Amino acid sequence: MYKHFEGTSASCPLVAGVCALVLSANSKLKASEVREIIETTADKIGSKNEYTDGYSLRFGFGRVNAEKVVAEAHRRKNPTAGTPTSPKEKVMTGLFHFSVESRTKKNYGVDIGNYKSYKEVVELTERLEREFGNSVNVKIS
């Protein structure tokens, strides 16, 4: 049993797993592209003064961020997805998280139809939460 598991011994299997996630999101990426995505999406840790051109002698490119890596792989697979239709429309990218919790029944419910974008769902959810003063559960299917 290991008491300490750090450095390249720990990071290598982690990054290999992230590479597998990237390729499952976008199998057309070249090895050099996967590497570049991992490097540019890494979270900078330690002092910002330690980094020169995004690289630190102590921390490398930083801490791998699987969420950002997979989101970028998806974005590169379909680069026009999320492009605004008007200058005022916000672009929403990334992975979206929903938490599920048990709630007591309040004797009312709303079944709402289909939406073209995640942005529309978020806007409706926020409006309903303001209107009813209660959290709204969203089921994406």
Read off the pLDDT of residues 24-63 as tens digits, 9 standing for 90 and up: 889 999 999 999 999 999 999 988 888 998 899 988 899 9
Which of 103, 110, 112, 111 shows the shortest CA–CA distance to 132? 110
pLDDT at 103 exceeding the cut of 90: no
Q: Using 50, 70 and 90 to split pLDDT, how confident is the model at 99?
A: very low
Question: How, if at all, do strands 51-52 and 55-56 pair?
Answer: antiparallel
User: What does the pLDDT read at residue 112?
Assistant: 58
Report the predicted TM-score, pTM, of the whole model to 2 decimal places.
0.55
> Which stretch of 15-24, 57-66, 88-97 has the lowest confidence by average pLDDT?
88-97
Mean pLDDT of the chain: 76
